[in-house]
Chain A
Amino acid sequence: MSELLKIEGLTKAYPGVVANDGVGFSVRPGEVHALLGENGAGKSTLVKMIYGLVKPDAGTMHFAGAPYAPTDPRAARTAGVAMVFQHFSLFEALNVAENVALGMENPPPMRQLSGKIREISKAYGLPLDPARLVGDLSAGERQRVEIVRCLLQDPKLLIMDEPTSVLTPQEVDILFHTLRKLSSEGTAILYISHKLEEIRALCEGATILRGGKVVGSCNPREKTARELAEMMVGAELKVTDRAERSFGEVVLKATGLSLPPMSQFGPALKDVGFELHAGEVLGIGGVAGNGQEELLATLSGEKPSIPGTVTLMGKDISSLGPNGRRAMGLLAAPEERLGHAAVPAMSLIENAILTGTMRKPLTKNGFVDQAAAKRFADEIIAAFDVRTPGSHVAARALSGGNLQKYVIGREVLQNPAVLIVNQPTWGVDAAAAAAIRQALLDLAAKGAAVIAISQDLDELMEIADNFAALNEGKLSAPRPTQGLTIEEIGLMLGGAHGMQEATA
């Protein structure tokens, strides 16, 4: 038995799109195998089929030498397949032990289980307290809950879906240590990511997916990150043009900015302060859920703050709502495209009116000027290469990347003095992400100030002049990105959130 998992000709079609088209690859016991591909390449559908969440239309799978066709995740777990999800599989209001029990087929009584959780989490350097509520844990600790849940079932194959997107660099190191230990014990790991350096550091084999098809396989250690990226995208990558910029006056200033939590398990903003100059791009890094949404909401005016905490060009704007701030030139694009930045069921024209009417003449005497609104929407579509049949289609009909280009474009074309964006390229394909980053840089080059909040540290290194870390609602002092190392950034982000490896 040389192969643990062997997949041949796996096909799955959804209405209008073939998610997987004749996919085949194999994984040996103890191998760390990468599944590489852009968003929408079909990685998630593929692993969902292996985990029994989705039924393939055609093709065969063999696991440990026997035919394998799981009808549901329980069957997959019984066979020895475990999966760590990117999100959607923990229950915030339940404690760690209850969460673990829910992911097991035959959990022991709670008291025994708590002991086992302590034992295994210690053995793999992932300390966890079984009695704590998951809602109170950091992202890194939550992932530990998922991993420990998998490990308690002695899996032969562990699937990890984008495991590092929510971790600080130090937490990534701990995770890799655990994964290498598992692999040395014979557990195969199927590792999904689009972070190429990580894959080169961790994986021995890689299968590259594009448009639902396998377009190549390689040993990632023998390739450069650039070669891998080009295999993934299928074209040469453009490098963003980061022109020299000069800073002007301070335009936006926050001092002592605090905000109570917006949701039950959400963080509070604590005494945030910074100065933003004209022409500057300030990158704010940090693991999601540490106050990013709250910061954007309070800066954009959605959640006004105490008077005297936010000033724009010398004027106190703390108590102004979003429209008051838009009129003065402060615009924002929130993270959630569907439902926050755009109304899913409304057309692109209507969505353009929603934020554009303060700075563009889109209304006349209280009536909507349809022609002007359409011109504005078409202008965004043309300038930002938004792929859509026209400006009349509903926002939800656009793919994530196209809608993101549209909502960013809508703000950029209103000539803001300050633009605040949260996760501008989250879930966006590489070409669109590059275009969005370039647009932000061009905006800054014209003298506007930009705040980019992102989890993607590489992105912030690429576009930001100064970098500040947001951790548990506190913002560190900004530091110039030139010469900043990834270790220093990791420490700014709170290191491993106080968690140390138990085994060194």
Chain B
Amino acid sequence: MIVGGIDIVSLTATLMGASTPVLLAATGELVAEKSGVLNLGVEGMMIMGAVAGFAAAVATGNPVLGFAMGAVAGALMATLFAFLTQKLLSNQVATGLALTLFGLGLSALIGKGYEGVRPPPTAKIDFGPLSDIPVLGRILFSHDWMVYLSLILVAVVWYVLRSTRAGLILRAVGESHDAAHALGYRVVAVRFAALAFGGALAGLGGAYLSLVRVPQWTEGMTAGAGWIALAIVVFASWRPWRVLLGAYLFGGITALQLQLQAAGYAIPVHILSMAPYVITIVVLVILSAIHRHGVQAAPASLGKSFHASS
């Protein structure tokens, strides 16, 4: 199926892979923001996940250990952020920005020896005859396990937030930390956990970039994916399935512009490369214009510091 020199099936198949890092990071950030904390350090946590995952995979030869290490590195960064903002009550915006800069710098330092090294490959799952189904086989059954894990995580986050007591408490803390505290819930502990989970997913997304997408280590390789993840959470008005939609939309445009370049369209390369970002911004603006008159979906305590002083 080829339209205007673009193969739609292969485009759909690539966009799932292209979207996975941003999808993972955005799902994690969604959980953190639902607990009422705005962590702008997604970019920093992703790139730390990328370098730590890469290093662990190269050292052990096992990509699964690499992904695990990436998640741990992201969670550690998030815990640092949680300690600063929840215990020492530092400003969340400034601390998040600092976390990004810190992550970019530290990852460059750690990654010095890994430039030009190839990581152990992450195998695609063998679905046997299923992948031979025309169209659907290529789209649904041709990916590595991380793509499927990211989809499962979206479903799990959606279910936990909607239907479990833990999810209810998390949302309650994000809505009104004073009320949650008055009822005896441990606001700071809930937020630590949510932040750590968000950091782990961001780290996982970073590791996917360096181990599967690229796959090698280069300095600053996240190239703004963390910021896109933050924007997608707003775009999705804090709903997991819409995060999936937003991430695939962004990934789709990224994949499309690569194919347009390959198909030799006479559009300057620079315009094509910036298209995903420009379109994300445009969609965000349109959505927030619509939302102004509708229900505001942001958690009511988002970005506010909590101290149990009263």
Contacts and interface: CB of A to CB of B under 8 A. Distances in A.
B286 interface: no
Interface residues of B, number: 18
Contacts of A107: 165
A367 interface: no
A346 interface: no
A72 B176 CA distance: 18
Interface string B283-310: 0000000000001100110000000000
B296 A72 contact: no
Contact of B183 (A94, A103, A264): A103
Interface in A29-74: 52-53, 72-74
Contact of A73 (B178, B182, B295): B182
8 contacts: A73-B183, A88-B176, A88-B179, A89-B179, A91-B171, A91-B179, A92-B176, A98-B168
B175 interface: yes
A328 to B, nearest CB: 33
A94 B168 CA distance: 9
- Please give me the 4 A-B residue pairs with the lowest Cβ-Cβ distance, nearest first: A73-B184, A91-B175, A89-B179, A88-B178
Contacts of A72: 184
B275 to A, nearest CB: 34
A386 B24 CA distance: 57
Contacts of B299: 93
A168 to B, nearest CB: 24
B178 A91 contact: no
Interface in B154-203: 165, 168-169, 171-172, 175-176, 178-180, 182-185
A436 B175 CA distance: 36
Interface string B145-161: 00000000000000000
A101 B165 contact: yes
A428 interface: no
B261 to A, nearest CB: 44
A85 interface: yes
Given A73-B182, A91-B172, A264-B296, 5 more contacts: A53-B182, A92-B175, A101-B168, A102-B172, A103-B183
A262 B185 CA distance: 30
A102 B168 contact: yes
Interface of B: 165, 168-169, 171-172, 175-176, 178-180, 182-185, 295-296, 299-300
A93 B175 contact: yes
Interface residues of A, number: 20
A90 interface: yes
A277 to B, nearest CB: 39
Contacts of A89: 179, 182-183
A101 B183 CA distance: 11
A93 B176 CA distance: 9
Interface string A78-101: 000000010011111110001001
A131 to B, nearest CB: 14
A70 to B, nearest CB: 10
Contacts of A98: 168, 172
Among B169, B183, B300, the one with the most A-chain Cβ atoms within 10 Å of its Cβ is B183
A94 to B, nearest CB: 6
B184 A93 contact: no
Contacts of A74: 184
B300 A92 contact: yes
A93 B165 contact: no
A264 B182 contact: no
A404 to B, nearest CB: 19
Interface in A99-117: 101-103, 107
A250 to B, nearest CB: 37
A94 B182 contact: no
B147 to A, nearest CB: 33
A264 B175 CA distance: 13
B45 to A, nearest CB: 27
A260 to B, nearest CB: 9
Contacts of A88: 176, 178-179, 182
B296 A94 contact: no
Contacts of A91: 171-172, 175-176, 179-180
Given A53-B182, A72-B184, A89-B183, A94 B165 contact: no
